Every structure is written in structure tokens, then in C-alpha cells.
Amino acid sequence: MFAFLNIFLAFALFASSGFAAPVKIRRASESHAIHMVNNCGSGTMTLVQNGNVVSTGPSYTASGEITAIAYLNRNECLLNGEHCTTLELTLKNPTTPGAGSSTDVTLISPHAFNVGVGFSYFNGCDGQGQTCGTASCTSAFRNPTDYFAQTQCETNNVGLKITFC
């Protein structure tokens, strides 16, 4: 009987010590790759997040979710894509159904068509996307209620390819 109590007491002391702390389970970190391709022959591919240019190169990887815009600047675009065909993107791992990534092309004023742009997801939702190749394209936001222009993806760590021209 005393042996059982001694074992019980030893276990209770161990469990209440720092040695028996619960194991923390780490989730894989969230990241999203963005690849931009300029087939127009000129201009600067620009990725802007929260009013800051985060990339003018062909590749960018966000550590975590990202909400940003992308456009090809041929010296007519303002910082927030005004006067240009602008891609709006939110890349994030879904926490509930319908709360994942969403991307669209906007031509809502003060945005205006300057070059064609297309996008498609990769590393999940492969090939899903849109193209706006002309000023009269029907796949872009022209009014705030044009929700059909959004393309969503519900895959963790999805990437986005953006092609200008």
C-alpha cells in the first residue's frame, strides 16, 4: 500500500513540476509565393502592401497572409494603382469555409486599363484565375458590386502567378 502511495506521490510531484509541461504542437508556418511575369517589353512590375512597395522583381514570398495590389507601372501609375489595371489580392490560409484567398482585377475609377493582366493560382487551385486583356474585358471589377470578378481559393499556402501582357 505504501509503495502505491509513494508512486502516486512521486507522479503527482513530477506532474506539477516544470518537467511535465504539456507538449506544444506547432503548426506549419503560412507562406505564399507571388510570381510576376512582364510580357509587355517595358514597365516595372510593382507589388504594394499597405502603401509600401514590397517588390518590383519577379518573385516575392510572404511569410504569413498578405493583402496587396499589383500593377505594371509604365510611368502613369500612382502608388495605389490609380490610372492602371490593378490586381487586388488576399492570400491567406482559410480558417473557415469561404475565408481563404481571393484575387481580382479592378478597373473601378480611379483605376483604368493600361495593360492586359492575368492571374492564376498554383500550389493549390491550379489554373483557377482570370484574364483582363483589353479595356472592354468583362472579368474585372467596374463597380463595387461586381463580385463575379473575384476568384477564390481555399487551399493552404497557395501561390499566385501574375502575367502582364
How much is the pLDDT for 27? 55
Q: What are phi and psi of 133, to 5 degrees?
A: -95, -15
Q: What are phi and psi of 54, to 5 degrees?
A: -100, -15
How much is the pLDDT for 28? 63
How much is the pLDDT for 98? 87
The whole-angstrom separation of Cα 165 and Cα 159 is 20
Check whether 152 has a pLDDT greater than 70.
Answer: yes
Rg of the chain over CA atoms, in angstroms? 24
How much is the pLDDT for 13? 39
Task: Quote the strand ranges of 39-137, DSSP E.
Answer: 44-49, 52-55, 59-63, 66-73, 86-91, 101-106, 117-122, 129-132
Structural domains in the chain plus CATH codes? 31-164 (2.60.110.10)
